[in-house]
């Protein structure tokens, strides 16, 4: 009776036990990071011709497959196109975009998602309880965060920590072993940024550098600190701006010749150019001053509105003069052709703006637009009403709009090029 296939190994049969012990010759694993040449792939091609010995299939697991050279991929492609019936290839990679399309098109793709931080913590706690080791919950949480969704990495970090501290797993000891930054230092640095204490910023960064700490780790933990602040803060604008700047700094450090100077200068810049927070974060004295100023502004507006009523005599005459000046000013608002084109673009009329490119505009008795492009002339002629509307709304100019097309004599460069190459063509507007 055949066992039901459920997709999980039983770890009891002869095949499973031989794979677990590494004795099964039909399961071959190759690290493409160190075996990435054509010769390594040629060896596989020679082996797949032979039948499997003990198992039903021969399985080749190529880890970090994206590290293969172009020639090696070409050599592997032939085998993937016509694979023997008893051979299965498993190509593992974390950078799928680096694999040629010719390889991807011949594979089934399975994406493995990151494991949640909570599940990693549960597994680490299970391991610690099985080993009868006491631990701090914050230490387990810190290791799970460092693993970034990879359970194997979290177990490796835990094993490293327990090799030096096998009695109690403490947060400070974990940070010391993995090169982390102390929570007090990170909090001190974040407060220095928020208070724009430049001397303190330089002092803390220099202190971390003297201790041999990785500055990228410093920026990473500082970003995490501000992320926690943003979640708790009522006004998130300022903190979000700081996190954005720290993200740019993290990517800039990779290619920097002098990371120390870059980090110090960037953190001072962040402290100096913090986005403005809302009034909730301002001091009570500043808030009172702002409220008082707003009340004064309201009083001034009310006073001006009350004392601008039309009056007889000289004041009424002055009001008429002011009205005429404002009207003339609005008419005289037209400056030149370029400024008019910008107004057209600002109103979202991009086709008109494009049609006016290179056109000559004359603001005389009539508003004349002259172009040497026949297609542009037709478009402008069809849009005269829109142009007149912009003139009236923006400049109070009420004139007829005239579109003129000046055909350039001679042959255009494109026509000459087509004729010289003996190419037949139709007229293109």
| CA pair distance 404, 368, nearest whole angstrom | 7
Please give the share of the chain, as a percent, with pLDDT higher than 90.
6
pLDDT band at residue 335 under the 50/70/90 scheme? low
Please tell me the distance from the alpha carbon of residue 338 to that of residue 357, in angstroms, as a whole number. 9
CB half-sphere exposure, 88, CA atoms < 13 A: 10
Contacts of 70 (CB under 8 A, 6+ apart): 100
Residue-level pLDDT at 62:
92
391 vs 399: CA distance, rounded Å: 8
Helix (H) or strand (E) holding 153: helix 151-164
Query: Could you tell me if 177 and 163 are in contact, meaning their C-beta atoms sit under 8 angstroms apart?
Result: no
Query: What CATH code is assigned to 14-104?
Result: 3.40.50.300
Which pLDDT score is estimated for 92?
A: 92
Over residues 231-251, the mean pLDDT reads: 79
Q: 183-272 architecture in CATH?
A: Up-down Bundle (1.20)
Neighbouring residues of 200: CB distance < 8 A, sequence distance ≥ 6: 188, 189, 192
Beta strands in 311-391 (DSSP E): 360-363, 367-371
Strand partners, 360: 370
Burial 20-36, CB ≥16 within 10 A → b, else e = eeeebebbeebebeebb
Q: How far is CA 409 from CA 355, 381, 406, 412, in A?
A: 20, 22, 9, 9
**Angle, alpha carbons 271-276-281 (nearest 5°):** 95
Structure tokens at 104: 């991807």
| CATH fold label, 332-405 | GMP Synthetase; Chain A, domain 3 (3.30.300)
Q: Using the predicted structure, report yes or no on whether residue 410 has a pLDDT greater than 80.
A: no
Alpha-carbon span 203 to 225, nearest angstrom: 19
The whole-number pLDDT of residue 207 equals 84
Predicted structure pTM score: 0.48
Report the 10 Å Cβ neighbour count for 210. Answer: 8
Domain edges within the chain: 14-104, 117-178, 183-272, 332-405
Residues 116-152 have pLDDT tens digits of 889 999 999 999 888 888 888 888 888 888 888 888 8
Please tell me the predicted confidence (pLDDT) of residue 378: 83
Angle between helix 137-147 and 117-130 (nearest 10): 130
Q: How does pLDDT run across 319-328, given as a tens digit for each residue?
A: 443 443 333 3
Q: Looking at domain 117-178, does it have CATH number 1.10.8.60?
A: yes
Q: Classify 355 as helix, strand or coil.
A: helix
pLDDT in tens, 71-102: 899 888 888 888 888 899 999 998 888 999 99
Tokens of 192: 């220095």
In angstroms, the Cα distances linking 22 to 25, 29, 40, 47 are 8, 10, 20, 18
Q: Determine the Cα–Cα distance for residues 283 and 330; give it in Å rounded to an integer.
A: 45
Q: Are 197 and 180 in contact (CB under 8 A)?
A: no
Average pLDDT, the chain: 78
pLDDT digits (tens, 9 = 90+) for 392-401: 888 888 888 8
Q: How confident is the model over 31-46, as a mean pLDDT?
A: 88
Strand partners, 89: 60
């Amino acid at each position: 009776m055949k066992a039901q296939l459920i997709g999980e190994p039983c770890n009891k049969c002869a095949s499973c036990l031989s794979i677990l012990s590494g004795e099964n010759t039909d399961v071959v694993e190759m690290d493409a990071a160190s075996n990435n040449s054509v010769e390594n792939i040629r060896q596989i091609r020679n082996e797949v011709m032979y039948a499997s010995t003990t198992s039903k299939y021969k399985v080749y697991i190529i880890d970090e497959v994206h590290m293969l050279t172009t020639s090696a991929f070409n050599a592997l492609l032939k085998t993937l196109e016509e694979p023997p019936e008893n051979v299965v290839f498993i190509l593992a990679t974390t950078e799928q975009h680096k694999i040629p399309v010719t390889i991807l098109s011949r594979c089934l793709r399975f994406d493995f998602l990151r494991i949640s931080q909570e599940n990693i913590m549960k597994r680490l706690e299970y391991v610690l309880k099985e080993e009868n080791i006491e631990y701090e919950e914050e230490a387990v949480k810190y290791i799970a965060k460092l693993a970034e969704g990879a359970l194997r990495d979290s177990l490796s970090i835990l094993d490293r920590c327990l090799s030096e501290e096998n009695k109690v797993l403490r947060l400070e000891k974990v940070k010391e072993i993995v090169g982390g930054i102390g929570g007090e230092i990170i909090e001190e640095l974040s407060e220095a940024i928020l208070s724009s204490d430049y001397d303190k910023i330089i002092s803390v960064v220099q202190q971390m550098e003297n201790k041999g700490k990785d500055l990228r780790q410093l920026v990473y933990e500082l970003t995490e600190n501000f992320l926690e602040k943003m979640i708790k803060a009522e006004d998130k604008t300022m903190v979000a701006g700081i996190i954005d700047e720290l993200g740019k700094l993290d990517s800039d450090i990779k290619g920097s010749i002098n990371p120390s100077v870059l980090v110090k200068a960037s953190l001072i810049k962040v402290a100096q150019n913090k986005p403005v927070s809302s009034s909730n974060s301002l001091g009570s004295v500043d808030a009172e001053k702002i409220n008082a100023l707003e009340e004064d502004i309201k009083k001034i507006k009310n006073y001006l509105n009350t004392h601008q009523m039309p009056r007889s005599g000289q004041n009424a005459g002055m009001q008429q003069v002011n009205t005429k000046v404002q009207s003339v000013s609005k008419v005289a608002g037209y400056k030149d052709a370029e400024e008019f084109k910008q107004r057209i673009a600002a109103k979202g009329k991009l086709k008109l703006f494009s049609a006016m490119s290179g056109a000559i505009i004359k603001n005389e008795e009539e508003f004349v637009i002259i172009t040497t492009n026949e297609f542009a002339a037709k478009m402008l002629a069809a849009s005269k009403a829109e142009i007149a509307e912009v003139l009236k709304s923006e400049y109070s100019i009420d004139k007829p709009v005239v579109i003129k097309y000046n055909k350039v004599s001679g042959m255009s460069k494109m026509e000459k090029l087509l004729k010289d190459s003996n190419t037949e063509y139709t007229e293109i507007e």
